[in-house]
């Protein structure tokens, strides 16, 4: 009998993830994070970025892969946590937008709905206006 798929990570598991030292994100990801948080007027929000290597050392990685979670928002801390993606930088940028949408109060359904339009708008502003 297979175990049912988990849909959430426990509070203790998130504490253990946040105990992993933050890595320096690639400059393209860091620059995008700064532009995205300005787009949403969230200058106070910080990014806790975890590399693949650091995440592989934890038991939580299996759970994250299983449920397809690439980040988490902590609105009470003005913090988002994202993980380096083997899918590439563009996916990491989308995760940043998605988690910032949670910071401003959108639930999962609305955040999923608005991630791509906001991502494209930020990219467009960045490219055209040099935001």
Question: What pLDDT, in 10s, does the model give residues 89-102?
Answer: 999 999 999 999 99
- pLDDT higher than threshold 90 for residue 128: no
d(CA 50, CA 29): 12
Which of 57-79 are b and which e, b meaning 16 or more Cβ less than 10 Å from the residue's Cβ? ebebbebbeeeebbbbbbeeeeb
Mean of per-residue pLDDT scores for the chain: 85
DSSP helix/strand/coil, 126: helix
Q: What burial class does residue 92 get, using C-beta atoms within 10 Å of its C-beta: 0-12 exposed, 13-18 middle, 19+ buried?
A: buried
- Cβ pair 15, 48 in contact under 8 A: no
d(CA 110, CA 73): 14
Residue 4 pLDDT: 46
Residue 116, beta-bridge partner list: none
Give pTM, 2 decimals. Answer: 0.86
- pLDDT higher than threshold 70 for residue 103: yes
Residue 119 pLDDT: 96
Q: What percent of the chain has pLDDT over 90?
A: 55
pLDDT band at 7 (very low <50, low <70, confident <90, very high): low
Residue 87 pLDDT: 81
CATH architecture of 11-124: 3-Layer(aba) Sandwich (3.40)
- Cβ pair 101, 95 in contact under 8 A: no
Q: What is the pLDDT of residues 34-73, one digit of tens each?
A: 999 999 999 999 999 988 888 877 777 766 766 777 888 9
- Cβ pair 48, 18 in contact under 8 A: yes
d(CA 81, CA 72): 5
């Amino acid at each position: 009998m297979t175990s049912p798929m988990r849909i959430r990570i426990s509070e203790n598991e998130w504490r253990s993830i946040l105990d992993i030292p933050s890595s320096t994100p690639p400059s393209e990801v860091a620059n995008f994070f700064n532009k995205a948080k300005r787009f949403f007027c969230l200058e106070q929000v910080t990014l806790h970025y975890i590399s693949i290597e650091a995440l592989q050392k934890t038991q939580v990685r299996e759970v994250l892969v299983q449920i397809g979670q690439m980040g988490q928002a902590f609105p009470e801390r003005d913090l988002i946590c994202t993980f380096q993606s083997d899918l590439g930088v563009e996916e990491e940028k989308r995760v940043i937008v998605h988690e910032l949408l949670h910071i401003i109060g959108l639930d999962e359904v609305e955040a999923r709905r608005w991630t791509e339009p906001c991502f494209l708008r930020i990219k467009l502003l960045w490219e055209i206006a040099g935001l």
